[in-house]
């Protein structure tokens, strides 16, 4: 695939990247490189406009309430329309944690004024407890109104893994469809769903970062980005041995943390194909 080139827009790298979210960008760049695809990364900060025709993939990391409040006005008034247009034109997108919440209609913090979102997704978020994002060392046991710990999600014919750490409950409107279904953890709001998916745009609470341990999801975004730029994409398979070991380790941790869910996870593993069915 030598000669192909995509452009990745990395939003607020200095603000919305509290849980190693830059690793998602690095995963995209490296998996493209292994296939001979050049991936140019454009960092877009506060005040920078977004050209929808110039980006093939948009990535934004997570952040706690103060960071959300800092970027929300810029995201809504400077970049929001460009993001919506880019996705409508076929661009891929990945928004995780606090940015997932801001890509919806609004996010209501525990205290203070509602933060309007960009309404890419037909979702909204209500936060019931103080944000602890970024403080994994002091996270208390997960409560019914909080997601904290290992998150395992069935997506298509594979399992996605990551860490969740959010006090918000995100709800999907009538036009939204979830990214997947929770096998271990809390996900959107405890109703069994996780994330949201619109075309090639994904919002999710999977953190960690999520793409290094989920090569199938990374390749989904790359394939969509290449297709948006060139009209088609046929990605050669990669070995992904280390990635699969990392996924298996995360699944085992989820089993150990939630022993009652073991039977459900075992059944899902028996039917899931490694690597996301590439």
Which pTM was predicted? 0.87
Could you tell me the residue ranges of all domains in the chain?
5-276
Mean pLDDT, contiguous 10-residue spans, the chain (278 residues) = 90 92 96 97 97 97 93 98 98 97 94 93 84 40 65 95 91 97 94 97 95 96 97 92 90 79 65 60
What confidence score (pLDDT) does residue 85 get? 98
Name all contacts of 134-141 with Cβ < 8 Å and 24+ positions apart.
134/18, 134/19, 134/64, 134/165, 136/19, 136/163, 136/165, 139/165
CA quadruple 214, 218, 221, 223: dihedral sign: negative
In contact, 18 and 203? CB cutoff 8 Å: no
What confidence score (pLDDT) does residue 206 get? 96
Q: How many CB atoms lie within 10 A of CB 175?
A: 9
Assign domain 5-276 to a CATH class: alpha beta
What confidence score (pLDDT) does residue 225 get? 98
């Amino acid at each position: 695939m030598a000669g192909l080139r995509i452009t990745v827009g990395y939003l607020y790298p200095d603000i919305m990247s509290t849980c190693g979210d830059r690793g998602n960008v690095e995963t995209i760049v490296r998996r493209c490189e292994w296939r001979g695809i050049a991936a140019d990364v454009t960092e877009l900060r506060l005040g920078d406009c977004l050209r929808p025709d110039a980006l093939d993939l948009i990535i934004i990391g997570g952040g706690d309430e103060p960071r959300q409040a800092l970027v929300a006005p810029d995201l809504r008034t400077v970049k929001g329309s460009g993001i919506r247009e880019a996705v409508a034109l076929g661009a891929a997108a990945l928004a995780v944690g606090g940015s997932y919440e801001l890509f919806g209609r609004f996010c209501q913090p525990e205290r203070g004024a509602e933060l309007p979102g960009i309404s890419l997704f037909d979702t909204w978020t209500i936060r019931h407890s103080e944000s602890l994002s970024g403080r994994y060392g002091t996270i208390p046991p997960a409560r019914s109104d909080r997601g904290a710990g290992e998150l395992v999600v069935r997506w298509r014919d594979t399992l996605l893994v990551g860490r969740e750490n959010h006090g918000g409950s995100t709800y999907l409107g009538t036009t939204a469809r979830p990214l997947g279904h929770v096998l271990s953890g809390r996900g959107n709001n405890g109703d069994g769903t996780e994330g949201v998916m619109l075309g090639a745009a994904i919002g999710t609470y999977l953190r960690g970062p999520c793409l290094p341990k989920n090569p199938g999801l990374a390749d989904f975004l790359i394939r969509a980005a290449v297709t948006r730029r060139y009209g088609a994409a046929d990605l050669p398979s990669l070995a992904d041995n280390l990635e699969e070991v990392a996924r298996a380790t995360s699944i085992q941790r989820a089993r150990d943390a939630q022993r009652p869910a073991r039977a459900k996870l075992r059944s899902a593993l028996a039917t899931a194909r490694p690597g996301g069915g590439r």
